[in-house]
Amino acid sequence: QVPLVESGGGLVQAGGSLRLSCAASGLPSSGYGIGWFRQTPGREREFVGGISWSTGSTYYVDSVKGRFTISRDNAKKTVYLQMNSLKPEDTAVYYCARAFIATTAREKDYDYWGQGTQVTVSS
């Protein structure tokens, strides 16, 4: 079973919304939480935000604060990334990953990664 599976990506116009899902039922254990990252060609993967399974506390990078919201459904072992007011610069492949200690911006704090889902925002 694949540990993490992202879905919900697609093409949207600037100003629109998308909701990404990260199904985590394949993980051997839940870990601390789930982080979302994104990557565009030629650039390093960028942390977007994260959520704790137990407390639901969230943490976002400044560029998405007020536009993106991360939530979780513990019963379904699924984390969501609601993206509103999308901008062309949000275009990227979005990944979810398991945080084993804390949902930080450091990739080394994540051990399981999904395959990614493409988000394209047209201007």
Q: What is the pLDDT of residues 3-53, one digit of tens each?
A: 999 999 999 999 999 999 999 998 988 889 999 999 999 999 999 999 999
pLDDT of the residue at 1 = 78
Planar angle of CA 74, 77, 81, nearest 5 degrees: 90
Separation between Cα atoms, residue 120 and residue 118, nearest integer Å: 6
Tokens coding 119: 């988000």
Distances (CA, A) of 79 to 11, 42, 87, 92: 21, 27, 22, 19
Q: What DSSP state is assigned to residue 89?
A: G
Q: Is the pLDDT of residue 2 over 90?
A: no
